[in-house]
Amino acid sequence: MQRIISGVLACVGGHFVPSDIAIEGGKIISVVPAASAASSKALYALPGFTDVHVHLREPGFSYKETIATGTRAAARGGYARVCAMPNLSPAPDSAAHLRAQLDIIERDAVIDVVPYGTITVGEAGEALSDMEALAPHVCAFSDDGRGVQDDDVMRAAMRKAKSLGKLIAAHCEDNRLLKGGCVHDGAFAKAHGLPGICSESEWGQIARDLDLVRQTGCAYHVCHISTKESVDLIRQAKKEGLDVTCETAPHYLLLTEDDLRDEGRFKMNPPVRTRADREALLQGLMDGTIDMIATDHAPHAAEEKAKGLRGSAMGIVGLETAFPLLYTYLVRMTGLISLERLVDLMSLAPARRFGLPAEGLRPGADANLALWDLDAKYEIDPNDFLSKGRATPFEGWHVCGQCVETLYKGNAVWSLAQGATL
C-alpha cells in the first residue's frame, strides 16, 4: 500500500524543500516538490540518523539495556541505524560470539543495528580477535571502553584491518595517566577534592595512533574526542592526508566542568572538560575537523548511577535527546551551524565513513526517515525515556524539536500520537 506524506519540508540534496513524499514497499518512490508547505507549522522530514557509537548492553548486561529497549529509544530520537559497541559478554571477538548478538538483533531490533567486532580477544588488549571472520558482519573494529595500550598490538590490528578494508575505531585512553580519576583534572576536581582525568590520557594516545596510521595506512576513526589538543592533532593529520576521521558527543559540545554536580548523571568517559576545550570542539565542528556526532549512549541501572561522581559507573544516555539539544543550542539559538549541517553530521556523514548506506531522501532509497515538529517546546524529563537508562546531565533543559514519527523501511517504528514504538 502506498503512503503519501504531503506538504513537509524535506531535506533533499542538502536543502529543505516543500515536498510530497511517496512510499511503497519500504522504499521512497518519489519526492515531488510541493507548491508550498502544508502549513506555517509544517513538519520537517529528515533522513533517519545513524549513530556509530551506542551501547545496547546485550548480550551480557540486559539489566542496563536491551536491543529491544535501546532501538526503541533510538527510533524515538529519529534514528534509523545504530552501531553497537562490543563491550559485551561474550564480547564479539569470534564468529560464534558475534552470532549470539546477531540472533538477538534479528529477533528484537526495530531499526538497523550494525555491530562492532573487538580489536582484541575479550578486549583484553593482547591477542587480536578473529578479525577476518568478523569483518563481513561488522561496521568496524573497536575495543571501546578500553584503549589498546600496547603499540605493537595496535600496529598489528591496523595492518589487519587495512587488509580487510575495515576501520579501526579507537577509544583513546592511556591507562598510565588515569590515576583513578572521575572528572576532568581541572578546577572542579581541585575544588571538590576529586581525582582528575588529565587531557593527555586522551590526546597522547591519539598522537601515538596517528604515528601508527602513518606507518600502516590504516583507515582510522577516533571515538568521542573531548580535548582541544585532540582537535588540533586530528586537524593536522587531515592536512597531511591521513585517512582519519573523528566524532564527538552532544555533552562535549554543550557542557563544561563548570556545569558539573556531584551526581552520577554527570559522570562519563571521557569527562566533560574546560570552556577552552568546548570552544575548540565547536570550532572543529564548524571547520570540518570533526566529521560526525555520536551519542555514546551508555545506559546503567539506577543504583549504578546513584553513587555520586566518585562511585558511579561511567556513562550517560543520549539517543532520545541528541537532536533536540543540538538543534536548540547549536542551530536555533546560536546559529553556530545550519540545520542542513546538523543533519549531515548525524545522518549522512557517519554512514558514509563506516561504509553503510547513506541514501538520504531520494527515489529508490529505503524509506528511513523521521518527521519532526521543530517548534515543539518541552523540558527533558528522563522519567519519560524509553531507554532503561535514565542518567542524563540534561535533565530539566528546555529544548525545541520533537520527533513525531520515525519510519524504518517504510514502517512506523515510533509514533508520538500513539506515545510508543510500534
Q: Which residues are catalytic?
A: 296
Neighbouring C-beta atoms of residue 164, cutoff 10 Å: 15
Q: Which residue has the cell 597531511?
A: 240
- Kindly report the three-state secondary structure assignment for every residue of the chain: CCEEEEEEEEEECCEEEEEEEEEECCEEEEEEECCCCCCCCCCEEEECEEEEEECCCCCCCCCCCCHHHHHHHHHHCCEEEEEECCCCCCCCCCHHHHHHHHHHHHHHCCCEEEECECCEHHHCCCCECCHHHHHHHCCCECCCCCCCCCHHHHHHHHHHHHHHCCCEEECCCCHHHCCCCCEECCHHHHHHCCCEECCHHHHHHHHHHHHHHHHHCCCEEECCCCCHHHHHHHHHHHHHCCCEEEEECHHHHHCCHHHCCCCHHHCCCCCCCCHHHHHHHHHHHHHCCCCEECCCECCCCHHHHCCHHHHCCCCCCCCCCHHHHHHHHHHHCCCCCCHHHHHHHHHHHHHHHCCCCCCCCCCCCECCEEEEEEEEEEECCHHHCCCCCCCCCCCCCEEEEEEEEEEECCEEEEECCCCECC
Q: Grid coordinates representing 265?
A: 548523571
Q: Grid coordinates representing 357?
A: 548506506
Which residue, 391, 354, 399, 359, is CA-closest to 375? 399
Q: In DSSP terms, which residues pair with 47 in a beta bridge?
A: 369
